[in-house]
C-alpha cells in the first residue's frame, strides 16, 4: 500500500488521506479548513479515485468532498447518520462561505446521490481493498476505517474518543492488531477530567444560577454537543425550562431517525421531548426573560442566535455564560473566557454575567490514545489532526515510552507501508 497525506497533517482542518494499492486508490476523508477563506486538501484527479470513505460529518473531514462530484461518480461510503448531518453542515457551509467554495448545491446533491450507507463492522470490497468501519465514539455515526490489502492492515482513527458519553459508547477497539496506524493528536498531551465530574459540576453551577432567578446561556455546537448537554440536564432532574435553538433541532430529528447509532435512544427522546424548541424571535425573547437554560449555537459565540442571547444576558451578573466546547483563538468565545469581554460586529461590551468553560470534549486525551496504540500494536504510527507542537510531543512519547516508530507527516508526503 502507498499512503499519501493530502491535508490536515500539522493542523486541525482539511483532513484527507489517500491509500493506493497496485490497481486502486481510495480516499479517507476530504475536509475543509475553516478560516476566513476556507482551505482545501491537495487535488486528486477524480478519475483516479475508486471510492471515498468518510469518518464523520465535521466539516474538517467532509467539507470538500462535493468537489469530486463536479464530474466524478465514485461511491462515497459512511454511516447513514454521517450523511444526514454532513448534508446539513455542508449546506450551512455553502450559505456562509459559498463564494470561496469550488462547488455548489448541485455537487452536494450529487455527493448525496452517490452515498452508500455502511453499518459498523460491515465490510466492503473496493478492488484490492477490504474496508470496514468501526465505531469511533467521537459523535453518533462516527467511524474509524480499517483497510486490508494482501494481509496488511491499516487503521485510520479519524477523530476518536475512547470514553463513553451520554450519546456515544466510546470507540470500538475490537479490530485487533494492525500494521500501520494513522491516529489523531488533538489532545495528545493532556487528559480531560472524567465526564461524570464535568457533568456534576455543570449541573451544580447551572442550578445555582437558575435558583437565584438567572438565565444560563450554553453556547454549544449544534451537532452532538447540544444534545449531550440537554441529556445531562434532563438526567439530573433539572426542573426549569431548557430552550434549544438553531440547527440542533434538525440534528435532534436526524438522531431520532437513526437511533441505532445512539447509545440510549429512549433517554435522548425523553430529553428532546422535555426541551422547548425555539422556533423564532418570539420564543427567543421569552427565553431570556425567565430563569432557565438556553442551549444555542454558535458554540464559540460566532454568529447564530447566540449573538442575540449575549446582548440580552451578558450585562447582568445574575446570569451565566457557560461554553461547553473548545474555544479557538480569535473567536468571541475565547475572548470572553480570557478577557470577560464580548465582541460582536466590532462592538465591545463588558460581561457582568458569570463565565466558565466546561470541558465536554469529544476527543480522547493522552491515556485514550495510549490505549488505542497498545490495543492495535502497530509497527508504524502516523500522527495528524493537531497543532504541530502537540503532534511532535506525541511522536516523542510514542517513541520513548512505547518504543514504536512514530511520524508526523507533512502535507504532500507519501509512504510505502
Ligand atoms: Zn470531528
Ligand atoms: Zn476533526
pLDDT tens-digit profile of 352-363? 999 999 999 999
How remote is the CA of residue 377 from the centroid of ligand 2, in Å? 23
d(CA 199, CA 235): 10
pLDDT of residue 9: 96
Half-sphere exposure of 103 (CA within 13 A, CB side): 22
Please say if the pLDDT value at position 35 is more than 90. no
d(CA 105, CA 112): 11
Closest ligand to C-alpha of residue 225 is: 1
Characterize the bridge pairing of strands 16-20 and 25-30. antiparallel
Closest ligand to C-alpha of residue 34 is: 2
Over residues 49-77, the mean pLDDT reads 97
d(CA 82, CA 254): 10
272-309 tens-digit pLDDT: 999 999 999 999 999 999 999 999 999 999 888 998 99
How remote is the CA of residue 368 from the centroid of ligand 1, in Å? 16
Give exposure, 296-332, as e/b (b: 16+ Cβ within 10 Å).
bbbbbbbebbbbbbbebbbeeeebbbbbbbbbeeebb
How remote is the CA of residue 59 from the centroid of ligand 2, in Å? 8
Closest ligand to C-alpha of residue 363 is: 1
Kindly report which listed range (204-208, 281-285, 301-305, 317-321) carries the lowest average pLDDT score.
301-305
Please say if the pLDDT value at position 344 is more than 90. no
Please say if the pLDDT value at position 137 is more than 90. yes
Q: Tell me what percent of the chain is helix, strand and coil, each rounded to the nearest 5.
A: 35, 25, 45
How remote is the CA of residue 13 from the centroid of ligand 2, in Å? 6
How remote is the CA of residue 69 from the centroid of ligand 2, in Å? 22
pTM of the model: 0.96
Beta bridge partners of 53: 28, 77
What region, left, alpha or beta, does residue 166 occupy, with left being phi > 0 and alpha being psi -120 to 50 degrees? Answer: alpha
How remote is the CA of residue 156 from the centroid of ligand 1, in Å? 13
pLDDT of residue 328: 83
Over residues 232-261, the mean pLDDT reads 97
Our CA angle for 371, 374, 377, nearest 5°, is 145
How remote is the CA of residue 145 from the centroid of ligand 2, in Å? 14
Of the pLDDT bands very low, low, confident and very high (cuts 50, 70, 90), residue 374 is: very high
Over residues 324-339, the mean pLDDT reads 90
pLDDT of residue 237: 94
pLDDT of residue 36: 81
How remote is the CA of residue 237 from the centroid of ligand 2, in Å? 33
How remote is the CA of residue 280 from the centroid of ligand 2, in Å? 31
Neighbours of ion ligand 2 (CB under 5 A): 58, 60, 159
How remote is the CA of residue 72 from the centroid of ligand 2, in Å? 25
Closest ligand to C-alpha of residue 221 is: 1
d(CA 400, CA 116): 42
Of the pLDDT bands very low, low, confident and very high (cuts 50, 70, 90), residue 170 is: very high
Helices 105-113 and 80-97: angle between axes, nearest 10 degrees: 170
pLDDT of residue 253: 97
Characterize the bridge pairing of strands 143-149 and 152-156. antiparallel
Closest ligand to C-alpha of residue 143 is: 1
Of the pLDDT bands very low, low, confident and very high (cuts 50, 70, 90), residue 145 is: very high
Please confirm whether the linkage preceding 298 is cis (ω < 30° from 0).
Answer: yes
d(CA 113, CA 29): 17
Over residues 391-408, the mean pLDDT reads 96
More confident residue, 127 or 349: 127
How remote is the CA of residue 211 from the centroid of ligand 2, in Å? 37
Please say if the pLDDT value at position 326 is more than 90. no
How remote is the CA of residue 141 from the centroid of ligand 2, in Å? 14
Over residues 130-141, the mean pLDDT reads 98
CB atoms < 10 A from the CB of 236, how many?
A: 14
Over residues 348-354, the mean pLDDT reads 94
pLDDT of residue 26: 98
Residues 6+ apart with CB under 8 A from 417: 1, 2, 3, 152, 154, 179, 180, 380
Which residue blocks in 258-409 are alpha helix, DSSP H? 265-274, 281-287, 306-313, 332-339, 366-376, 388-402
pLDDT of residue 152: 97
82-135 tens-digit pLDDT: 999 999 999 999 999 999 999 999 999 999 999 999 999 999 999 999 999 999
What is the residue-averaged pLDDT of the chain?
A: 96
How remote is the CA of residue 298 from the centroid of ligand 2, in Å? 17
Over residues 403-412, the mean pLDDT reads 98
pLDDT of residue 90: 98
How remote is the CA of residue 56 from the centroid of ligand 1, in Å? 7
What percentage of the chain exceeds 70 in pLDDT? Answer: 100
d(CA 398, CA 402): 5
- Grid cell in block for residue 84: 444526514
Residues 6+ apart with CB under 8 A from 347: none
Over residues 247-257, the mean pLDDT reads 97
How remote is the CA of residue 274 from the centroid of ligand 2, in Å? 31
pLDDT of residue 221: 93
How remote is the CA of residue 416 from the centroid of ligand 1, in Å? 27
Amino acid at each position: 500500500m502507498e499512503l499519501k497525506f493530502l491535508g490536515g497533517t500539522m493542523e486541525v482542518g482539511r483532513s484527507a488521506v489517500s491509500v493506493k494499492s497496485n490497481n486502486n486508490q481510495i480516499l479517507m476523508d476530504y475536509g475543509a479548513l475553516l478560516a476566513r477563506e476556507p482551505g482545501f486538501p491537495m487535488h486528486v484527479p477524480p478519475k483516479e479515485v475508486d471510492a471515498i470513505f468518510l469518518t464523520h460529518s465535521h466539516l474538517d473531514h467532509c467539507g470538500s468532498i462535493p468537489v469530486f462530484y463536479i464530474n466524478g461518480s465514485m461511491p462515497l461510503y459512511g454511516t447513514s447518520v454521517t450523511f444526514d448531518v454532513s448534508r446539513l453542515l455542508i449546506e450551512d457551509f455553502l450559505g456562509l462561505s459559498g463564494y470561496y467554495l469550488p462547488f455548489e448545491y448541485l455537487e452536494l446533491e450529487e455527493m448525496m446521490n452517490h452515498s452508500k450507507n455502511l453499518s459498523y463492522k460491515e465490510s466492503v470490497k473496493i478492488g484490492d481493498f477490504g474496508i470496514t468501519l468501526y465505531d469511533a465514539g467521537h459523535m453518533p455515526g462516527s467511524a474509524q476505517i480499517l483497510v486490508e490489502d494482501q494481509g496488511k492492515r491499516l487503521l485510520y482513527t479519524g477523530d476518536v474518543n475512547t470514553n463513553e458519553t451520554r450519546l456515544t459508547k466510546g470507540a470500538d477497539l475490537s479490530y485487533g492488531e494492525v500494521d500501520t496506524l494513522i491516529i489523531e493528536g488533538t489532545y495528545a498531551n493532556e487528559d480531560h477530567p472524567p465526564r461524570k465530574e464535568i457533568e456534576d459540576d455543570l449541573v451544580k453551577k447551572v442550578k445555582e444560577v437558575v435558583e437565584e432567578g438567572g438565565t444560563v446561556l450554553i453556547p454549544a455546537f449544534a451537532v452532538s454537543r447540544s444534545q449531550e448537554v440537554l441529556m445531562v440536564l434532563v438526567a439530573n432532574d433539572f426542573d426549569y425550562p431548557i430552550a434549544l435553538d438553531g440547527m440542533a433541532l434538525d440534528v435532534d430529528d436526524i438522531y431520532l431517525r437513526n437511533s441505532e447509532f445512539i447509545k440510549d435512544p429512549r433517554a435522548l427522546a425523553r430529553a428532546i421531548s422535555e426541551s422547548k424548541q425555539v422556533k423564532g424571535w418570539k420564543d427567543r425573547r421569552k427565553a431570556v426573560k425567565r430563569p432557565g437554560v438556553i442551549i444555542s449555537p454558535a458554540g464559540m459565540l460566532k454568529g447564530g442566535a447566540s449573538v442575540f442571547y449575549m446582548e440580552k444576558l451578558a450585562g447582568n451578573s445574575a446570569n451565566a455564560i457557560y461554553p461547553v466546547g473548545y474555544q479557538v483563538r480569535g473567536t468571541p468565545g475565547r475572548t470572553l473566557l480570557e478577557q470577560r469581554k464580548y465582541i460582536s460586529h466590532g462592538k465591545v461590551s463588558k460581561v457582568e454575567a458569570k463565565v466558565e468553560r466546561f470541558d465536554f470534549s469529544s476527543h480522547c486525551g493522552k491515556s485514550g490514545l495510549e490505549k488505542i496504540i497498545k490495543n492495535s500494536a502497530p509497527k508504524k504510527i502516523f500522527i495528524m489532526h493537531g497543532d504541530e507542537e502537540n503532534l511532535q510531543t506525541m511522536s516523542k512519547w510514542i517513541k520513548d515510552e512505547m518504543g514504536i516508530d512514530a511520524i508526523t507527516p507533512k502535507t504532500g508526503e507519501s509512504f510505502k507501508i
